[in-house]
Amino acid sequence: MENPQIKAFIVHLERATERRAQVTELMAQLPIPAEIIIAVDSKQLSDEQVSQVYQPRLHKPYYPFRLSRNEVACFLSHRKTWQAIIDQNLDAALVLEDDVALTPDFPAAFAAAVSVTAQGGLVRLPFRSDRETGAVITGTNTSIKVIHPVPVGLGMVAQIISRSAAKILLELTEKFDRPVDTFAQMNWVTKLQPLSVVPGGVQEISSNLGGSTLKQPRSLAHKLHRELMRPIYRRSVKIYSRKSGRN
């Protein structure tokens, strides 16, 4: 992608005032123009609004947990960034959550991600590089590598999304049945082939900013159910991912 029209979107929940300083710092550090995308607030979502977008058991493998209101709001917040890419006629956007800090690897990781955005459509900048594995696409002889992860990793703290990928993601998620990062794994549904840059040049610092805005209290029974079902679901995702990679 030569001289792409690209900017950064930082997803920020307005009532998360403890994160405003980090958002300001990010905007100053980024090498491209940055704009704040006001996150959808779960506390302002009505039951009717949730039911309009959340529909369980849409895609296989079926997601085994019911989405929390926070997870619905998070998904809708990322849809706002995809819509902004289209509305502003950008070639792509770097989408960051507001609990991200840049590391010394970021300039090289960002440059590598931009160089393959047209190829992958969605290029992840993971904050836990040791969990991303796959065939090396570029960077065999350098410290920064672009890989084709199988399966696609979890987390949406930082990624570059092309305009064409944003259109696809929006069309496919007018209704959704799982968290946004879990949906982004589903290349057998999106037909995208997300790439990852490792190391990603970012770190997740929510613990320094008052903790995650997604977590909520859960009963012991609920926690046990998640512990039992999570590995089963992740195994299914690996199977679907490998099949999709062979097609």
pLDDT 10s digits, 154-169: 999 999 999 999 999 9
CA distance 218 to 220: 7
CA distance 183 to 180: 5
User: What is residue 75's predicted lDDT score, i.e. its pLDDT?
Assistant: 98
User: What is residue 226's predicted lDDT score, i.e. its pLDDT?
Assistant: 82
User: What is residue 21's predicted lDDT score, i.e. its pLDDT?
Assistant: 94
Which positions ≥6 away from 191 have C-beta within 8 Å?
A: 168
Which positions ≥6 away from 94 have C-beta within 8 Å?
A: 6, 7, 8, 9, 30, 32, 110, 113, 158, 159, 160
Domain ranges of the chain: 6-246
Note the pLDDT tens digit of each residue in 36-53.
999 999 999 999 999 999
Per-residue confidence at 3, pLDDT binned at 50, 70, 90?
A: low
User: What is residue 214's predicted lDDT score, i.e. its pLDDT?
Assistant: 54
CATH architecture of residue range(s) 6-246: Alpha-Beta Complex (3.90)
pLDDT mean over 6-32: 96
Which positions ≥6 away from 51 have C-beta within 8 Å?
A: none
Note the pLDDT tens digit of each residue in 61-103.
999 999 999 999 999 999 999 999 999 999 999 999 999 999 9
Residues composing the chain: 247
Average pLDDT, the chain: 92
Contact yes or no for 161/188 (Cβ under 8 A):
no
Closest CA to 189 of 132, 94, 122, 113: 122
User: What is residue 206's predicted lDDT score, i.e. its pLDDT?
Assistant: 85
pTM above 0.85, yes or no: yes
